[in-house]
Structure 1
Amino acid sequence: MKMYKSIPIVLFSIILIAGCVSNKKYAELQTTYAQLRERNQELSNKYQDSQRELTGANSRVKSLEEQITSEKANVVALQDALNKCLSSSNQGNVNISKLVDEINSSNKYIKQLINAKNKSDSLNMVLTNNLTRSLSREELGDVDVQVLKGVVYISLSDNMLYKSGSYEISDKAGETLSKIAKIIKDYEGYDVLIEGNTDNIPIAQTNIRNNWDLSALRASSVVQTLQNKYAVDPKRLTAGGRGEYNPIADNSTPAGKAKNRRTQIIITPKLDQFMELIGKAPEQAPKQ
């Protein structure tokens, strides 16, 4: 990001080179540029798909919580109906046995929902604790691990992860990524989104158009490192870039810019078991 001071030199060099390169070299540059644009479009599409999946996952978790609340209210209503049955001779036509079965069924279903949610929360906490314990004190200065709404966020600083002003993975990032890769492989039921973020200073490199490109390329570098060097299943991985448009701090200060230049590894539990439970929800009791 600090290369903006060399923009005039770069532009002057491009003008000189443009006058000297051969038609063949120009064609090669055009081909490379087209490939980069195509790759960036692929990354953007993958990122958008992952965002939709993540939004859907959060929506399903919210739906579970709402359904738990609804089922608890249903149990109260059923219990009230049963009490009225027992205390009033005018309710002789009500099938008490059926009401008892419905109450028991609803209680069982609530326990299933709560147990499934607690299991997911527990796995997230174990994952977080295992990762945190594996990191050294120095690494913890560049890595932030949080659990928000059932999703694990691992935020990595660009100073540790990449070579200066580049999307190439630095040598010192290898040990940290290997620890994260081990955690990812240990928890096979989780999907992984790698999300690149930048500050608001325009990138000054001829082969990278803007911060969208830089963030997507950085995310792609992490994905390929996890796949090729640490054998993480690529089917579980998605790379995406958010450029400068997802800041967590004020870009008007150096400290704020440093926080915004980050790459997040977002580990999301698959919610198939929750959706299966929702499909098995007991029928509502008939109104009295």
Structure 2
Amino acid sequence: MKKKIGLVGLCIALSFGSCVSKKKLTQAENKLMQVESRLSKETAEKRTHKEEKEALEATVENYNQKIYALQKDNQNRVEIGKDGSVMSETSKQNMRRVLQKMNPDKVAGAKTLNDSINLAVAYNIQQSLNDSFGADGLELDANGNPIKKEGLEVSVAQPVVKITINNSILFKSGSAWVNKNSHPLIEKLANLIKSEPNMEVLVEGHADATPVVEGSYLGDNWMMASKRAIAVVRLLEGKFDVLGEQLAASSRGEHKPVAENETSEGRAKNRRTTITLMPNMEKFMEMMK
């Protein structure tokens, strides 16, 4: 009898051990499947992020090529790159040539190669845009290059190009209608924008601190700056066929002055419109994370 009981006990023990082993094996297999699934998902996401990053980098590069094309002429064009290693020797020579034409004090502020590239590109674009006005009203610098006095300024901080236009060029006093003589300038910008569908454009209106004449249809400084920014956007879209989804208009009112409002010269500088060209910044910033 004892022998039978012992044999039964052994069978139960073996059976129980077999069940435990099978259970552990099933758990291990399930865990392995979960790990493989997670790994597969992460690999797919990594591949997607890589493809998106490459696509966005290509967009920025294409945008930079459009800015490159906007510069004045082939002799002085400067490549826009992430660092000096991507610049050709010809482009470096062009950059040095352009910097020699500029104000030495401004050039002295360039601390890095990228700073120098930005200055040279901005100078070239400014000269190119100045040409849009024709010969009237332009002065020449010591090198025979046209300068629009207190009218047009370009700054570059890769990948953003910011163009500041004095409102005396764009609008008559007390008006929110864009002057026809500035249409060639706006058209040149429109052609650039249309050539790059991923480019975004922010038009900002600025005013001085002088209150708008009471009863004017311009309302107050906030509204006047807004109306003028919208007028530029409507011109880009309505006359020069820029896609509306690439454009945005905003008002800064009198709250972003670049000069003192106590003098007529300072107030004139504060009355301005800025047009900022950039690749799709939401996507661009996502790429930078």
TM-score, structure 1 normalization: 0.51
The one of 264, 269, 272 equivalent to 2:279 is: 269
Q: How does 1:191-270 map to 2 (within 5 A)?
A: 191-206=200-215, 207-270=217-280
Separation (CA, whole Å) in 2 of partners of 1:205 and 1:242: 20
Q: Is the 8 A contact 1:124 1:147 kept in 2?
A: no
1:129 aligned residue: 71
* 3-state SS of 2:180 partner: coil
The one of 156, 160, 164 equivalent to 2:165 is: 156
Q: Structure 1 residues 112, 251: CA separation in 2 closer, same or farther (over 3 Å shift)? A: same
Q: Is the 8 A contact 2:218 2:227 kept in 1?
A: no
Letter in 2 for 1:202: P
Q: Which string of whole-angstrom CA distances, capped at 9 and with x for unpartnered residues, describes residues 154-179 of structure 1?
A: 11111110122111111211111111
* 3-state SS of 2:71 partner: helix
2:180 aligned residue: 171
* 3-state SS of 1:230 partner: coil
1:23 aligned residue: none
Listed as ranges, the gaps of 5+ residues in structure 2 are: 1-49, 73-124, 139-145
CA RMSD of the aligned region, Å? 3.3
Q: Which string of whole-angstrom CA distances, capped at 9 and with x for unpartnered residues, describes residues 188-243 of structure 1?
A: 22100110001100010522321000000000100101111111111111111110
TM-score, structure 2 normalization: 0.51
Separation (CA, whole Å) in 1 of partners of 2:241 and 2:63: 26
Q: How does 1:35-46 map to 2 (within 5 A)?
A: none
Separation (CA, whole Å) in 2 of partners of 1:228 and 1:182: 13
Q: How does 1:91-110 map to 2 (within 5 A)?
A: none
Separation (CA, whole Å) in 1 of partners of 2:276 and 2:65: 15
Separation (CA, whole Å) in 1 of partners of 2:54 and 2:225: 41
- Aligned pair count reads 171
Q: Is the 8 A contact 1:120 1:150 kept in 2?
A: no
Q: Is the 8 A contact 1:124 1:152 kept in 2?
A: no
* 3-state SS of 1:239 partner: strand
Separation (CA, whole Å) in 1 of partners of 2:199 and 2:186: 17
**Bigger-Rg structure (1/2):** 2
Separation (CA, whole Å) in 1 of partners of 2:210 and 2:286: 46
Percent identity over the alignment?
31
Listed as ranges, the gaps of 5+ residues in structure 1 are: 1-108, 280-288
Separation (CA, whole Å) in 1 of partners of 2:159 and 2:283: 14
Give 1:145 deviation, angstroms. Answer: 1.2
Q: Considering Cα pairs closer than 8 Å and 6+ residues apart, tell me whether 1 or 2 has the greater RCO.
A: 1
Give 1:187 deviation, angstroms. Answer: 2.5
Q: Structure 1 residues 156, 134: CA separation in 2 closer, same or farther (over 3 Å shift)? A: closer
Letter in 2 for 1:135: N
Q: How does 1:5-44 map to 2 (within 5 A)?
A: none
1:27 aligned residue: none
